[in-house]
């Protein structure tokens, strides 16, 4: 089946952008099945990531039933394109996959300290997209009102919030009893040092004070967490134990950014309806990013170097296939 591809922008009218000058932007990307006769082509724009052939702005496939929806959440400092490998493969199998660039925490715009510190705001982005009707109209096909959610790294944190996890402590909060071994992520290595400087930003203050709020969404049916980062260790264990939505976790055996024994294993021990799988053979944290172009390998080689003999595309094929089995209730382990 061919894959359609469309981008657009919505706004969360209930929240401000970090400057306080307008509504919070929701730049979105959709992959969806299409039977349009046009030839598929690889998007021409310059990118760090290899992309798959799609039919841009195609009409979605017509169906007697509404199409199942999966909302995708990218990792720290990335964009929707970082989950293009998964969105494309889901669309090939009949799903609509919709990803959002998380304002202030995405490479599609200048990084914002506020966006990196207030990770819980990302969950509201996906809830806002479920509320919004405009992108559904643009795709022009009936889509389920409920959704599954999948996210990589910080995106895993996002989808777990939607499933019912609640924040006990921010990763870089001074009172957090679980001390982080780093002061910030790769993209913002001094992040913890920026926290005291933000007290004068009223938008940040409001966001920071709601960090322990309930971000769950009853329309979310199940969650897939791929290589969850250390931020998940700030979740309340009681909230994790109360999650009843099916949850699937994937990790890599050579992930040194978010060691699976620390992150995947801890989540598995605390979420009752959870299964998890650690992929072997040298699978690192960034193996779950797309394959790199020459531009990407030159700009950030550490994101695209895998152990010799490991084929990143085959890992992507496997994770996508297992994810579809999970979403369709066919996964046995």
Q: Does the pLDDT at position 331 exceed 90?
A: no
Strands of the 2-16 sheet, one edge to the other = 55-56, 2-16, 23-34, 96-101, 69-73, 147-152, 220-226, 247-252, 274-279
Encoded tokens for 93? 């199998």
pLDDT of residue 132: 96
pLDDT of residue 305: 93
pLDDT tens digits, one per residue of 81-121: 999 999 999 999 999 999 999 999 999 999 999 999 999 99
SS3 call for 294: helix
Q: How far apart are CA 108 and CA 106, in angstroms?
A: 5
**CATH number assigned to the domain comprising residue 319:** 3.40.50.1820
pLDDT band at 277 (very low <50, low <70, confident <90, very high): very high
Residue 24 within a domain: yes
Q: Does the pLDDT at position 332 exceed 80?
A: no
Residue 251 within a domain: yes
pLDDT of residue 98: 98
The predicted model gives 56-67 an average pLDDT of 91
Encoded tokens for 278? 């650690």
Instruction: Please write down the HEC assignment for all residues of 22-87.
Output: CEEEEEEEEEEEECCCCCCECCCCCCCECCCCEEECCCCCCCCCCECEEEEECCCCCCHHHHHHHH
How buried is residue 333: exposed, middle or buried, by Cβ count under 10 Å (0-12/13-18/19+)?
exposed
Work out the percent of the chain whose per-residue pLDDT is above 90. Answer: 84
Q: How far apart are CA 34 and CA 50, in angstroms?
A: 21
pLDDT of residue 179: 75
Q: Does the pLDDT at position 36 exceed 90?
A: no
Domain residues for 151? Answer: 2-327
Residue 181 within a domain: yes
Residue 333 within a domain: no
pLDDT tens digits, one per residue of 126-171: 999 999 999 999 998 999 999 999 999 999 999 999 999 999 998 8
pLDDT tens digits, one per residue of 157-209: 999 999 999 999 988 888 878 777 888 888 888 888 888 889 789 999 999 99
pLDDT of residue 117: 94
CB 258 within 8 A of CB 266: no
Residue 290 within a domain: yes
Residue 332 within a domain: no
pLDDT tens digits, one per residue of 220-256: 999 999 999 999 999 999 999 999 999 999 999 999 9
pLDDT tens digits, one per residue of 294-322: 999 999 999 999 999 999 999 999 999 99
CB atoms within 10 A of CB 222: 20
Length of the chain: 333
Residue 52: name the closest of 79, 91, 78, 26 by CA.
Answer: 91
CB 188 within 8 A of CB 116: yes
CA torsion, points 35, 38, 41, 43, in degrees to nearest 10? Answer: -90
Residue 154: name the closest of 76, 42, 98 by CA.
Answer: 76
Encoded tokens for 22? 């307008």
Residue 104 within a domain: yes
Number of domains in the chain: 1
Radius of gyration of the chain measured on its C-alpha atoms: 19
Encoded tokens for 239? 């909230």
Whether pTM exceeds 0.85: yes
Q: Does the pLDDT at position 276 exceed 90?
A: yes
pLDDT band at 44 (very low <50, low <70, confident <90, very high): confident
pLDDT of residue 37: 73
Which residues are bridge partners to 27 per DSSP? 9, 101
**What 8-state DSSP symbol labels residue 196?**
G
* Per-chain mean pLDDT for the chain: 94
Residue 316 within a domain: yes
Work out the percent of the chain whose per-residue pLDDT is above 70. Answer: 99
pLDDT of residue 51: 94
Pairing state between β 2-16 and 23-34: antiparallel
Q: Does the pLDDT at position 271 exceed 80?
A: yes
Q: How far apart are CA 22 and CA 42, in angstroms?
A: 34
């Amino acid at each position: 089946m061919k894959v359609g591809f469309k981008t657009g922008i919505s706004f969360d009218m209930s929240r401000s952008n970090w400057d306080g000058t307008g509504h919070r932007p929701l730049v979105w990307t959709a992959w969806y099945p299409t039977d349009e006769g046009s030839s598929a082509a690889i998007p021409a724009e310059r990118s760090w990531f290899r992309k798959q052939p799609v039919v841009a702005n195609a009409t979605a496939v017509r169906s007697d039933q509404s199409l199942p929806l999966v909302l995708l959440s990218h990792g720290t400092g990335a964009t929707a394109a970082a989950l293009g490998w998964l969105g494309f493969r889901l669309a090939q199998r009949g799903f609509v996959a919709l990803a959002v660039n998380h304002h202030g925490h995405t490479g599609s715009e200048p990084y914002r300290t506020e966006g990196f510190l207030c990770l819980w705001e990302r969950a509201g982005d996906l809830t806002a997209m479920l509320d919004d009707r405009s992108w559904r109209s643009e795709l022009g096909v009936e889509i389920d009102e409920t959704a599954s959610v999948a996210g990589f790294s910080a995106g895993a944190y996002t989808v777990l919030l939607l499933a019912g996890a609640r924040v006990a402590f921010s990763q870089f909060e001074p009172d957090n009893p679980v001390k982080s071994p780093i002061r910030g992520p790769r993209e913002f290595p001094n992040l913890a040092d920026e926290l005291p400087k933000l007290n004068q930003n009223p938008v940040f203050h409001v966001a920071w004070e709601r960090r322990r709020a309930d971000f769950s969404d009853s329309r979310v049916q199940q969650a897939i967490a791929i290589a969850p980062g250390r931020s998940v260790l700030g979740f309340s264990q009681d909230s994790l134990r109360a999650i009843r939505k099916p949850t699937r976790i994937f990790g890599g055996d050579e992930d040194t950014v978010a060691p699976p024994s620390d992150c995947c294993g801890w989540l598995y021990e605390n979420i009752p309806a959870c299964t998890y799988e650690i992929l072997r053979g040298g699978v690192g944290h960034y193996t779950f990013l797309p394959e790199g172009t020459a531009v990407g390998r030159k700009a950030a080689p550490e994101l695209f170097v895998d152990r010799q003999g490991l084929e990143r595309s085959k890992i992507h094929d496997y994770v996508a296939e297992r994810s579809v089995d999970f979403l369709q209730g066919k996964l046995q382990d």
